[in-house]
Structures are given as structure tokens and as C-alpha cells.
Amino acid sequence: MKRSLYISALLAGLLAACQPANFSQWRQETFDSTPITTSQSKTISLQNENGEAVQKLSGVGFDGTGDGHEHFRIEKVLVGQRLVGQKDIIVPPGSTLNIQLTYEPRNLETTRADFGGWVTGEPEKFVPYNPDDPPPPPDNDRAIHRVVLLAAYEEPKSGLTMVELVGEAVPGPNGEVSLPEAGISACEAEAGTACFEGNFSMDIPALFTTGPVEDQLAGPIRFAIQGGAASLRMDDVPPILIILKGNGPGEPLEGQPVSAVSIIIKGVQGVAAEGSFDGSRLELAGLSFRILVVVGEISQEDISGLNPIVDFTLEDLVLTTEEPFVDGQITLKIDTTLSQAPSGNPIFDEFLGEKQIIVRFQGQLNL
């Protein structure tokens, strides 16, 4: 579910709080001190204590107004022991909604948050020191990460359950202070999880006169599939690196003052796309990608710590099936047309504005 949908759910819940038959609950859950490169998991259980009526929820997810969601992720949502999606949830009388969460701190930067009067992430005031003494070293030995998990109820009473998640991060076992680039990780096909491995291609027909740019994905893409529902956490999309060179007539950068440009495509952290898989066709809506552009040619190892000249986001994209799932193979496609000024950089918008972009993923889907 997209972050904006969670904000909408929050607003809807707050509006519903003006009605007589509403409820709103707040609680806090803390994770153990967690070194960088490791993780902690726990399950948040919300019981339907009504012995007669079912509970209907529009969805569960993170409040997107803060920056703490990148350190937490929802692994599974279950009603009792039955796996369900993150929206349109029904909890029978006496049953329990179980939300399995993982805290995996990405860095030692305390997140900005203001929940219940506890403010974190605010810049510390400057404290003068003796000119004869060196300034005190920055406090990089721990960080506090906070985010709010929302469960938006519709029936029999409307309202929100809000759970503040708090994690403390410390340096990793080898002194690590941040995780490597997100997205490249192992994927094991099992109940509820499907793994896609293969190639991608990108085509901008108005610019690429020699055809699409193609390469192999740097890692698998993990889809959650249960029954006919499917979802994709954008964090689970490995970074895609595309190198555009200008070596002669018909090349993408023909006549330009640079020899190469590197385009990096990342999934927007904390966003999830949802849709369906009928055993043949996979359809998802709500994909969001962050596009970064760097002058020169880089490698996958250079992606972290970039200083891009262009950095913008494409939202509300749709993933469709071009070639259905047969004998383990499938071809997926994203086809979109950019706005007039998608990047905010006038030089690049001159080339990219209102251009059609077609991205294909062709390979094997392991169920």
C-alpha cells in the first residue's frame, strides 16, 4: 500500500473519531538494542474481543509523515494463523490480528519524530567549548528510530489503533555504522513468497533509436503472493543501473558534452504496491521508483553514497503482465509517460519531458 494511502487512512480515522461509535488506541512497543547488519523481529497482536461481531479493517501500515519507516518493515499480516493482505482485512469474533514486524536499522542517524511529547532527531544546540581544547566528538555510538504503525478499523466501530515502534541501533559487530545498498538480498520461494530472477530492459522510443537498454537484474525481486492477492515492497527491488553512452550516430547521448551518464533506479523505501496474481498474470498498482542521474560511468559497487545531479520520484506506476506465466517464465511491463518536467532539472527535462518509458522484466518466477 502506498504511503499516501496510509496518511489518508490516518485522516479518515481522525475524522471518524468525531463520531460517537469510534475508538482510538495508542501503545508503544520497543525492540532490543540492535547492531547494524542485524535485525530484531516481533509480532504485534490485536485481538477482536467482541464475541459476536467481526472487525473490518481498511488496512494496516506505517504512518508516512516521518522518516522512521525505512528501518522497520511488515513481514506478514495474519488473522490467527492465516496469511492475509495488508488491506481489506476481516477479523472474526474472538480471533486475533497478528502483524509480524522486523526492525533492521539502516544507519546511526536518529529519526525525526514527535509522538506523545517525546521529540527525537532535532539538531542539538551548539555548546561552546574551550578554544584550547578540541571540540567533543559527535555521538555516533547509538541512534533512536521511531515510527507509528496504524491499523484503521471500519466496523463495528471506526477508529485507529496506533502502535509506536521504538528501536535503538548501535554499531555493527565490525564497527558498521550503516547498511549496504538496499534491495540486493537472497530470496527463497516458499508459502506466501515468490522470487523473480531475470533481466530488465528500458526503452524511451523517442530517444533510443537503437532500441532498449538491457541488462541482468543485480538480484531477485521478492513478491508476496497469497491466494489471489499479490504485493511488492519497493525496498525489495534491487537497484537497477543503466549506463547511457554517446559513441556515434543514433546513440542516446550523441552530440552531448559528456561521454556517459549513469541512471540508477531504486524502489522508494517504505512503499508497497498491491494487486493480484491468478496463476497466470501478475498485476500490481502503486509502484514508486526513485530516479538518480550521475555524470560518468559507475558500477553497482558505486551506487551507495552517490552525489546525483538529478534526483526525483515516479509514483503510482502500474506493473502488468505482457507474457503470462508459463513453464516458470513470465514477462512483466511498466509503460508510463512522464510529465512535462519530471525531474525539476531544466536540462534533463528538455530530453525527458512528456516521453514514454517502457520497462520490461523478463525471466523466471519461482513459486
Provide the residue-wise pLDDT of the chain in tens; the chain has 367 residues: 333 333 334 444 443 443 434 567 899 999 999 999 888 999 999 999 888 899 999 989 888 766 778 889 888 889 998 888 788 899 999 999 999 998 989 888 899 888 878 888 876 565 565 666 665 555 568 999 999 999 999 999 899 999 999 999 999 888 888 776 555 567 888 888 899 999 999 998 888 878 888 989 988 999 999 888 999 988 888 888 888 776 554 555 555 556 678 888 988 877 889 999 999 999 999 999 988 888 788 877 777 656 677 888 899 999 999 999 999 999 999 999 999 988 877 877 887 889 999 999 999 999 8
Exposure string (b/e) for 277-314, b if CB count within 10 Å is 16 or more?
Answer: beeebbbbebbbbbbbbbeeeeeeeebeeeeeebbbeb
> What pLDDT, on a 0 to 100 scale, did the predictor assign at position 4?
38
> What pLDDT, on a 0 to 100 scale, did the predictor assign at position 309?
77
> What pLDDT, on a 0 to 100 scale, did the predictor assign at position 135?
58
Domain boundaries, the chain: 3-170, 193-366
Whole-prediction pTM: 0.56
> What pLDDT, on a 0 to 100 scale, did the predictor assign at position 311?
80
CATH homologous superfamily, domain 3-170: Immunoglobulins (2.60.40.10)
> What pLDDT, on a 0 to 100 scale, did the predictor assign at position 17?
40
Exposure string (b/e) for 213-238, b if CB count within 10 Å is 16 or more?
Answer: beeebebbbbbbbbeebbbbbbbbbb
C-alpha cell at 261: 551518464
Q: Which residues contact 229 (CB under 8 A, 6 or more apart)?
A: 84, 85, 274, 275, 276, 277
> What pLDDT, on a 0 to 100 scale, did the predictor assign at position 13?
44
Determine phi and psi for 302, rounding to 5 degrees: -90, -5
